[in-house]
Amino acid sequence: MELDNHPCPPALGPGAQGLDVVVTSVASDAHTWNLIYLQLLLEELGHRVTNLGSCVPDQLMVDECRTRRPDLIVLSTVNGHGLNDGRRVIGQLRDCAELRTTPIVIGGKLGISGAEQGSHVGELVNAGFDAVFEDSAGIVGFHEFVRALPAARRALPAGGLR
Amino acid sequence: MTPPVLPAGSFGGFVQAARRSGHLVVQPRMGMSDPYLMREGLLATRRADASTVGTITLDSYTRVGDHEAARRALAEGVPLNGYPIVAYSTATTRAVTDGIAGTGFPVQVRHGSAAPQDILEAVVAAGLTASEGGPISYCLPYSRTPIEQSVANWEASCAILARLREHGAEPHLETFGGCMMGQLAPPGLLVAISVLEALFFRQHGLRSVSLSYAQQTHPEQDEEAVTALGRIAAALLGDLDWHLVIYAYMGVYPRTPGGARLLLQEAARLAVRTGAARLIVKTSAEAHRIPTIAENVTALEAAARASEQVRPTASVQDTGIHQEALGLVQAVLDLDQDLGRALTKAFALGVLDVPYCLHPDNAGQARSYLDSAGRLHWSDTGAMPVRGTGRGVGRMTSAGLLGSLSYVQQRFDRLAVETAGLRQLTSPAPQKEYAR
C-alpha cells in the first residue's frame, strides 16, 4: 500500500479561519493511533490541533483546556473505559466557567462488550457532551459536526457575542 | 558464563522444555475483573489442546496506578478491561490461581505500566514470578511518565522480581520493546529496543528473560527481523536463559473470522520458522471487542495446529535489519556505562526515535511508511544512526495513515474471501442433475 500523497481539497471556504482544537485521550487510555489520525484529519480540514496524547489525567485536561480556550475539544478513547472516564471528566470540564459552552465531543470504542452500540449516547450527552461518535462509523458524523462548527463560529463578530 | 539452571515450575524452564520437545508455547492475552471468570479463563487456557502458559492481563486503571478508580468500579459493579491485581487482596489473587498456576502451568502477569512497583509487589505476594514490559516499551507509547522516571521505576521493579531468587524461584521478565506502537515501527528499531530492554533486565539482576517481536506487515521482513533478534540475543545474552516470543499482529485486526484465522496462522508460521519458542495469540473477535474465554481457547488451539505444520527454516534474505538493529544497540551502549542513563540520553539525542509516538520525551522526527509490497521503511530517520530508504515519499495524510493502519486487515479479509472462493471452485457442491 502506497501512502496517499494527494493533497486534500481545502475543506474551509474562503476567509475561513479554522478552529483551535484540543485532541485528547482520557486518563486510563494509552492508545494513540486514534489521536494521531484525528490530528492529521483536523489539520487537513484547516484546523489547528493541540494533541494532549494518551493517559491524560483529568486535572491536566482541565488545565490545558482552560488555558487554551479551544473552539472544540475532542476526547477519543478506544480502551472500553470511555463511558466511565468520559462521564467523570466532562463534569470537571463543564464546571469551568470558560468551558461551559465550548463544544466538547467524545468518540471511539466506549464500552468493553462491543454489543452496546448506541446505548452510551444518551448517558454521555446527559453528562454534558455535545455529541457522541461511536466506533469507526462515527467518523462520518464527526466530520459533519466539525464542518458545521466553523460557520457558526465565523458568524460571531470579533470578540464574540455576549 | 553459562545460563542459570532453571528450577522446575519456572516460566523460562517450562518454555525451554516445550521447545526441546518441539512444541510452540501459545499464550492468550486474557484479563477479567471478575475473579471467578479470571480463574475460569486460566483453567480453560490450561486445559486447551496445546502447550500453553496462562495470562493475567491487568486493567487500565491499575496500569496507570489509579487503584482507587479500580476499587470504585469494582464496588459499583462496573466491568473493567482486565484484572485489578492491586485493588484485590493477595488472598483473592491466590484463590484465582490456587491449584492452577505452578509446575506445568506458569502464569505471566501483563500490565503495561511505567511504574509497576506496586503491581509487581502484588504479583510476588500472590506467589507468581513472571511478568513483562520494560522502561521504554511501557513508558513511551503508554504513559506520560518521563523516561528518566520510568527507568528508575523499572530498576526498582527488576529488584522486586530478582529478590525472588533468594527463595529459590527464577523470576522471568519479557521485553515488550519488540511491540512498540503495535504497528508502523520499522523492524530494526523494534529489534534494537527489545535487545536493549533485555540488557537492562540483566543489568538489574534478571537471569531469565524473553525478547518480543510483534508480527508486522510483511512475512519475509518479519522473518529477517526475528532472525536478527535471535542472532543479537545469542551474541549478547549468552549468560542468561532467554527465548524469543512473537506477538500475533497487534494493529487493526481483520474483521472476518477467516481473515483473523489466516493472520494468526501466519504468526504461528513466523514463530516456528524463526525458532521463537512462544506465541501470544489474538482471536477472531479482536476487531470487535474483548474476546471471550472460548474464543481465546479456539485461537490457542488454532495457533498450535498451525505451528505443527511448519519446520524451522533459517534462510532469510538480508536487507540490512540485523545491521540496523546492531548499529542502534551499539550507539546506545556507547552513550553510557549504565543502560538506564544510556536509554534516557538516547531518546534525548534522538539516537532512538519512535515514529508517530506522542510521548514528550520522544524526539518525534522519525517517520515510517509501507511500500506497495507491505514492507515497512523509514521515510525520515531523524537523528538515528540508520540509513533511510524512502526519503521524499511525502507527508503522511490521515487517509494514508488509515490505509497503512488497515493494510493488514484489508489484505487478510480479502485473502479469506479468496480462499473461501477457491475452496468452492476446487470442491464444487454436487450439481443438480437435469433431465436430458
Residues 6+ apart with CB under 8 A from B138: B111, B112, B113, B114, B116, B150, B154, B176
Separation between Cα atoms, residue A153 and residue B229, nearest integer Å: 54
Position A1 confidence tier, pLDDT thresholds 50, 70, 90: very low
User: What residues of chain B lie within 8 A of the CB of A89, using their CB?
Assistant: none
- Boundaries of domain holding A83: 20-137
Least confident of A47-56, A60-69, B427-436: B427-436
Average confidence (pLDDT) over B244-273: 96
Position B406 confidence tier, pLDDT thresholds 50, 70, 90: very high
Report which of residues A138 and A107 the model is more confident about: A107
**What pLDDT sits at residue B289?**
81
Distance from CA of A160 to the nearest CA of B (A): 32
Whether B436 shows a pLDDT value over 80: the answer reads no
Q: Which cell numbers hold the place of B378?
A: 523509514
Pairing of strands B208-214, A104-108: unpaired
Decide: helix, strand or coil at residue B115. coil
**What pLDDT sits at residue A41?**
94
Position B430 confidence tier, pLDDT thresholds 50, 70, 90: very low
Among A27, A84, A114, the residue with its CB nearest the CB of B288 is A114
Average confidence (pLDDT) over B403-428: 86
Longest CA span, chain A: 51
Report which of residues B419 and A71 the model is more confident about: A71
**What pLDDT sits at residue A5?**
36
Q: How many helices (H) and strands (E) does chain A have?
A: 5, 5
Separation between Cα atoms, residue B333 and residue B342, nearest integer Å: 6
Average confidence (pLDDT) over A15-22: 83
Judge whether A98 lies within some domain.
yes
Separation between Cα atoms, residue A75 and residue B316, nearest integer Å: 44
* Phi and psi torsions of B58, nearest 5°: -85, 165
User: What residues of chain B lie within 8 A of the CB of A54, using their CB?
Assistant: 141-144, 358
Whether B177 shows a pLDDT value over 90: the answer reads yes
Judge whether A145 lies within some domain.
no
**What pLDDT sits at residue B315?**
67
Average confidence (pLDDT) over B116-137: 98
**What pLDDT sits at residue A28?**
84
Separation between Cα atoms, residue A58 and residue B69, nearest integer Å: 12
Position A6 confidence tier, pLDDT thresholds 50, 70, 90: very low
Whether B393 shows a pLDDT value over 90: the answer reads no
Whether B137 shows a pLDDT value over 90: the answer reads yes
Report whether B133 contacts B155 (CB < 8 A): no
- B290 and A112: CB-CB below 8 Å? yes
Q: Show the beta-strand stretches assigned E in B248-297.
A: 278-280
Decide: helix, strand or coil at residue B134. coil
Separation between Cα atoms, residue A71 and residue A67, nearest integer Å: 12
- A3 and B393: CB-CB below 8 Å? yes
Separation between Cα atoms, residue A53 and residue A29, nearest integer Å: 10
Residues 6+ apart with CB under 8 A from B164: B124, B129, B170, B171
Separation between Cα atoms, residue A17 and residue A19, nearest integer Å: 7
- B141 and A53: CB-CB below 8 Å? no
Tracing cell 539482576 back to the chain, one arrives at B205
**What pLDDT sits at residue B431?**
46
Count of residues in chain A:
162
Least confident of B16-30, B144-158, B310-324: B310-324
Position B433 confidence tier, pLDDT thresholds 50, 70, 90: very low
Q: Tell me the domains of chain B and their CATH numbers.
A: 11-308 (3.20.20.240)
Separation between Cα atoms, residue B197 and residue B175, nearest integer Å: 6
Whether A15 shows a pLDDT value over 70: the answer reads no
Judge whether A27 lies within some domain.
yes
**What pLDDT sits at residue A111?**
74
Overall domain count for chain A: 1
Quote ipTM for the complex. Answer: 0.81
**What pLDDT sits at residue B290?**
83
Residue contacts between A and B (CB atoms, under 8 Å): 110
**What pLDDT sits at residue A37?**
93
Judge whether A155 lies within some domain.
no
Judge whether A42 lies within some domain.
yes
Residue of chain A with shortest Cα separation from B217: A1
Whether A160 shows a pLDDT value over 60: the answer reads no
Q: Which cell numbers hold the place of B131?
A: 511478568
Among B73, B289, B401, the residue with its CB nearest the CB of A84 is B73
The torsion region of residue B362 among left (phi > 0), alpha (psi -120 to 50) and beta comes to beta
> What percent of chain B is predicted at pLDDT more than 70?
96
Decide: helix, strand or coil at residue A77. strand
Summary mean pLDDT of chain B: 93
Residue A38: closest CA among A106, A86, A101, A94 = A106
**What pLDDT sits at residue A89?**
96
**Could you report the per-residue pLDDT of B201-215, keeping only the tens digit for each?**
999 999 999 999 999
Judge whether A31 lies within some domain.
yes
Beta bridge partners of B27: B280
Query: Cα B296 vs. chain centroid, distance in angstroms?
Result: 16
Position B435 confidence tier, pLDDT thresholds 50, 70, 90: very low
Judge whether A125 lies within some domain.
yes
User: What residues of chain B lie within 8 A of the CB of A53, using their CB?
Assistant: 144, 358-360
**What pLDDT sits at residue B110?**
98
User: What residues of chain A lie within 8 A of the CB of B64, using their CB?
Assistant: 27-28, 55
Cα angle for residues B90, B94, B99 (degrees, 5° grid):
170
Average confidence (pLDDT) over B35-46: 98
Whether B74 shows a pLDDT value over 80: the answer reads yes
Average confidence (pLDDT) over B166-172: 94
Position B199 confidence tier, pLDDT thresholds 50, 70, 90: very high
Position B389 confidence tier, pLDDT thresholds 50, 70, 90: low
Beta bridge partners of B133: B175
Task: Kindly report the three-state secondary structure assignment for every residue of B302-369.
Answer: HHHHHHHCCCCCCCCCCCCHHHHHHHHHHHHHCCCCCHHHHHHHHHHHCCCCCCCCCCCCCCCCCEEE
Position A157 confidence tier, pLDDT thresholds 50, 70, 90: very low
Which of A5, A28, A113 to substitute to test the interface with B, most B CBs within 10 Å? A28
- CATH number of the domain that residue A30 is part of: 3.40.50.280
**Could you report the per-residue pLDDT of A65-120, keeping only the tens digit for each?**
999 999 999 999 988 788 889 999 999 999 999 999 999 999 988 776 654 556 78
Position B347 confidence tier, pLDDT thresholds 50, 70, 90: very high
Report whether A29 contacts A79 (CB < 8 A): yes
Residue of chain A with shortest Cα separation from B406: A1
Q: Which cell numbers hold the place of B413?
A: 479479509
Least confident of A5-14, B42-51, B87-96: A5-14
Separation between Cα atoms, residue A98 and residue B40, nearest integer Å: 49
**What pLDDT sits at residue B166?**
93
**What pLDDT sits at residue A4?**
36
In 10 A of CB B255, how many CB atoms? 18
Summary mean pLDDT of chain A: 82
* Phi and psi torsions of B156, nearest 5°: -65, -35
**What pLDDT sits at residue A2?**
32
Separation between Cα atoms, residue B157 and residue B117, nearest integer Å: 5
Q: Which pTM was predicted?
A: 0.89
Judge whether A60 lies within some domain.
yes
Count of residues in chain B:
436
**What pLDDT sits at residue A81?**
80
**Could you report the per-residue pLDDT of B279-335, keeping only the tens digit for each?**
999 998 877 888 999 999 999 999 999 999 998 886 688 999 999 999 999 999 999
Whether A11 shows a pLDDT value over 70: the answer reads no
